[in-house]
Structure 1
Amino acid sequence: MMAPRFSRRRFLAVAAAACTATQVRAKAPVATWRGPALGALAEVRIAGLDGAEAAPILAQVEAELARIDRLFSLYRGDSALVRLNRNGVLPGPEPDFLHLLSLARTVHFATEGAFDPTVQPLFALHAEHAAAGRSVDPELLSDARSRVSFERVRFDGTSVHFERPGMAMTLNGIAQGYATDRLTDLLQRAGLRDVLVNAGEIRAVGSEQGARGWPVRLPGGQRCRLENRALATSDLFGTIVDPARAVGHIFAPSQGTRTLRHGPVTAYHESAAVADAASTAAVVLDDRQLSLLGPLGVRLQPSG
């Protein structure tokens, strides 16, 4: 089961400096790589290195983006996630696939199930009916919901498998944050001290041009300076699955009616992956339940 394609307006941007920001001069060389990555256009800029010096680092970035895409993309038929959704089992999963599932499970239990990657059948059902201009039949919706339960996903070093036929997962609510973390760590290992990675979610290390932290623009035009932290923003209507019926791309996994949060909510954490999952969960959680994110070390900034 592959996900329908929706327009993604995200732009993956990476900025880094090869020396302390105060040493980066206006005429310092800037090496740049541009290309497709994770369903978006990507740009990586490294100040303080010429093209030859930066080439090995940029090659590592490009290879890592391709590797992440092969693991978690819903838009390519050979990705590990699409094969799992199609077959109900993924033999011999890569360690990073298991790592991300373990992290997702941690957030799932911490949020009492509000973050649940197995909502993909709901997404696919609404998308299919929207494409045909039809409302979703309540019986079909109930059937799709019966296949939503992350607790029915079993995984270990030998395989990942679904306990019920027709289940499927999306990792879009955590994989972009994971990609942000991986790229940040890669650039730091390469010796870059000041790094800003925006792979849909944002993580900052060091600072830009000697100032404290990096300037980041939040939804609604607010600005902040992000220093050695990550942030992620989720919005129910950031992507519209069914415009005619005002169905957004985030779904409550539990049965029954639940009012999802309208407007963007931003989560801060040391890990962009955790911030990504937490901001997704916050759309599902009501105000009283937002305290569930506290033990994860998450700080929230709801809209308004």
Structure 2
Amino acid sequence: MPAISRRRFLSISAAAGVMGSLSGAAFAAQTQYPLQSWKGVAMGASASITLSHPNADRILERAQRELNRLENIFSLYRSNSTLSQLNASGMIDAPPFELLECLGICGRIHHASNGFFDPTVQPIWQLYAERYAKGHAPDPASIKQALSRTGWQNVMIAPDRISFRKPGMAITLNGIAQGYVADRIATFLRGEGLTNVLINTGEFAAIGGHPDNMPWAVSINTGSQIKKDAVMLRDNALATSLPNGTFFDQDGLIGHILNPRTGHPAKTRRDSISVTAPKAALADGLSTAMCLMNDAECEKLLTAFPSARLV
């Protein structure tokens, strides 16, 4: 789980406006109001919100403000975000509900994955990023020292305070926050009365289905190949992780997802891992953990979350 987007080389194409061979005009004819989309960047990834509503412009503007509010909690790109402040000081009082809720989901996935999902890997990730920026790999002693500043059990979470047991600790939520933000935007839009929306914050969350009464069809382009069979979403979510989607080194050999047990990059046969679940945060966290797990371990992990599916 890196401090930058896991989607640097991931292009995800939602068939909201290109489903089958229909044009945008054809969609407009099938719906009471034409589909409208906001496209931008959120949590370091290409983002979009697609919906059909007479007040779409106003709703999309409000959704953008909500996205900005959530980035002020979770983004490691913003030095004044809640997460950045927590990492800088080692504690934060009166944490926002969203951060507490997201960390609660992290704890569930950490436990079910036997520790493979661990947001406290940030010190190791920083070590790799800094050393490879200088043209060489981190030495074993440095990795061991960074590992000593990790461990989910060293994160103290209470309604009034989040703190670290050890100095020099830091967490990254980039293995789950994109999905969590998608869920929060979905909650916001449901509150606006919307029933057919596709949200993409690097991970997908669907409210209902497409306005033409079909599911939302999402195809995944990993850069090297496009999966031919679209994933159909209706009141569901989809997350994809690329074990080798981003690299620390110039040669593209050292992947960005690090094993919290060893401090070494993930070794996996999979080019990409996609998971569906009722919530995007759950799908996001599970797909991240599975980058470090073999087939049997992945299967066991899914038994703890019966509503989730490996695509």
Corresponding position of 1:84: 86
Q: Map of 1:228-247 to 2, 5 A cutoff?
A: 228-244=235-251, 246-247=253-254
Structure 1 contact 24–209 (Cα < 8 Å) conserved? no
Corresponding position of 1:19: none
| Structure 1 counterpart of 2:262, one-letter code | Q
Structure 1 contact 10–40 (Cα < 8 Å) conserved? no
Report 1 or 2 for greater relative contact order, CA contacts < 8 Å, sequence distance ≥ 6. 2
Report how far residue 133 of structure 1 moved: 0.4
Give the distance between the partners of 1:84 and 1:98, measured in 2 at CA. Answer: 12
SS of the equivalent of 1:130 reads helix
Q: 2:289 aligns with which of 266, 275, 281?
A: 281
Q: 1:25 aligns with which of 29, 33, 42?
A: 29
| Matched positions, count | 292
SS of the equivalent of 1:154 reads strand
Q: 2:303 aligns with which of 289, 294, 301?
A: 294
Structure 2 contact 8–245 (Cα < 8 Å) conserved? no
Give the distance between the partners of 1:227 and 1:7, measured in 2 at CA. Answer: 23
Structure 1 contact 12–42 (Cα < 8 Å) conserved? no
- Pair 13,155 (structure 1): closer, same or farther in 2 beyond 3 Å: farther
- Pair 4,172 (structure 1): closer, same or farther in 2 beyond 3 Å: closer
TM-score scaled by structure 2? 0.84
Give per-residue Cα distances to partners, 1:239-285, cap 9 Å, x unaligned: 11223372212111113878632421111110100000000010111
Matched, 1:201 2:203: yes
Structure 1 contact 4–124 (Cα < 8 Å) conserved? no
Report how far residue 300 of structure 1 moved: 1.2
Report how far residue 3 of structure 1 moved: 4.4
Structure 1 unmatched ranges of 5 or more: 17-21
Give the distance between the partners of 1:242 and 1:104, measured in 2 at CA. Answer: 28
- Pair 3,270 (structure 1): closer, same or farther in 2 beyond 3 Å: closer
SS of the equivalent of 1:240 reads coil
Corresponding position of 2:156: 154
| Structure 2 counterpart of 1:111, one-letter code | S
SS of the equivalent of 1:266 reads strand
Corresponding position of 1:270: 278
Report how far residue 143 of structure 1 moved: 0.6
Structure 1 contact 30–45 (Cα < 8 Å) conserved? yes
Structure 2 contact 49–200 (Cα < 8 Å) conserved? no
RMSD: 2.8
- Pair 102,258 (structure 1): closer, same or farther in 2 beyond 3 Å: same
Matched, 1:46 2:51: yes
- Pair 149,210 (structure 1): closer, same or farther in 2 beyond 3 Å: same
SS of the equivalent of 2:274 reads strand
Give the distance between the partners of 1:178 and 1:162, measured in 2 at CA. Answer: 22
Give the distance between the partners of 2:96 and 2:40, measured in 1 at CA. Answer: 25
Structure 2 contact 259–292 (Cα < 8 Å) conserved? yes
SS of the equivalent of 1:221 reads coil
Structure 1 contact 88–162 (Cα < 8 Å) conserved? yes
- Pair 10,288 (structure 1): closer, same or farther in 2 beyond 3 Å: closer
- Pair 13,165 (structure 1): closer, same or farther in 2 beyond 3 Å: farther
Structure 1 contact 13–44 (Cα < 8 Å) conserved? no
Report percent identity of matched pairs: 36
Q: 2:192 aligns with which of 190, 193, 217?
A: 190
Report how far residue 24 of structure 1 moved: 5.2
Give the distance between the partners of 1:6 and 1:172, measured in 2 at CA. Answer: 7
Report how far residue 287 of structure 1 moved: 1.9
Q: Map of 1:10-21 to 2, 5 A cutoff?
A: none
Matched, 1:173 2:175: yes
Structure 2 contact 268–291 (Cα < 8 Å) conserved? yes
Structure 1 contact 126–242 (Cα < 8 Å) conserved? no
Give the distance between the partners of 2:264 and 2:96, measured in 1 at CA. Answer: 37
- Pair 9,221 (structure 1): closer, same or farther in 2 beyond 3 Å: closer
- Pair 42,288 (structure 1): closer, same or farther in 2 beyond 3 Å: closer
- Pair 76,299 (structure 1): closer, same or farther in 2 beyond 3 Å: same
Structure 1 contact 13–42 (Cα < 8 Å) conserved? no
Between 1:279-288 and 1:38-47, the stretch displaced more is 38-47
More strand by share: 1
Report how far residue 119 of structure 1 moved: 0.6
Report how far residue 46 of structure 1 moved: 3.2
